[in-house]
Homo-oligomer: A and B are copies of this chain.
Amino acid sequence: MTKQAYSVAVVGATGLVGVEIVTALEERGFPLAALQAYASVRSSGDEIRCAGLTTRVELIDRARFDGTDIVFLAAGEQVAAEWAPRAADAGAVVIDTSALFADDPAVPLVVPEVNAADVAGYTERRIVASPDTPAIALAVVLHPVHALSTVVRAVVSTFEPVSGAGRLGIAALEGQTRELMHGRSLDLEADVHRIAFNVVPQVGEFLAGGVTRDEAYTAAALRRLLDAPDLSTSITRVRVPSFFGTGMAVSLELGTPLSAAAARDLLRGAPGMHLYDDTEVARYPTPAEVVGQDAVCLGRLRVDEDRATLDCWLAVDNTRKGAAVNAVQIAELLARDYL
């Protein structure tokens, strides 16, 4: 660490991920010299407290990043497109949580447990990208398996909470649930599927071929994080009526077989992961129950050594390790080794 403490800005500071970034900075003891917070017009004026500092949330339009060391962007692709280059030009290093730079080879995409060294590439554009929740969780779990046994194919179904769609998603589930519990019918637009007490197999817009943009993004990010360009994937992202916490059913085909005992040993000690011992009945992580944890929680490990397959279930807090904590970990790497 070259500096004693860093000047940090959070853009989107009142959104679901921005709030968790501020929380993670404090909880993890990130050395803060100053904190700026920016948001859209609706939420500016709020006060934010973080590690003894108090900051008023400002309109993003007023942002000046001269002297700022690190700028977290947690406000979507449009804001990232406008503000990432500006902040970088002002001399800051940007950590963006949107999908905008995920396939830009000049911007490193980083999950610290997986490819920490790649953060060095920040120098090219002064931007580092933090992946989406499924890519982060899958990379943490697949990384040690891939190193030992080569993951040839990954088939994944996600069980994603409405908070992945932000505060509007939360309001929709809350409102629909209330109406249905009171016996009222819902008045939804023609192209909107009900989410309360239902399951909606679409996260992101459809691309040609029937895959969604978010599914394609997760697959590409995973290949990049694992440095596995030939990895075959089938990822179906599904929204379920929960508020926080993402679940994932994962089925892997391996290049070389792994025994159940070896897989368990490998995953028990792997960084960023907590293995629930599934030999005891009903002991596995559920999404709502892992909220607040920073680890990717893994259970229901099933290994078929003859077929060289490994199946498991993951649960992760989508706003913490699935977004904010990963971004703050990237900041910790930058502070430790580069800034």
Contacts and interface: CB of A to CB of B under 8 A. Distances in A.
Interface of A: 155, 157, 159, 173, 177-178, 181, 191-194, 197-202, 205-206, 209-211, 232, 234, 236, 238, 240-243, 245, 247, 249, 251, 260, 278-279, 281-282, 284, 286-289, 299-302, 307, 309, 311, 313
Chain B CB within 10 Å, residue with most, of A200, A205, A234, A260: A234
B240 A300 contact: no
Contacts of A197: 173, 241-243, 288
Contact of A247 (B201, B205, B210, B286): B201
Closest CB pairs A-B (n = 4): A157-B157, A198-B288, A157-B249, A236-B249
B300 A201 contact: yes
Nearest to A244: B197
A281 to B, nearest CB: 6
A302 B238 CA distance: 15
B210 A278 contact: yes
B302 A199 contact: no
A289 B241 contact: no
B199 A307 contact: no
B249 A287 contact: no
Contacts of A281: 191, 205-206
A57 B288 CA distance: 42
A186 to B, nearest CB: 10
B284 A202 contact: yes
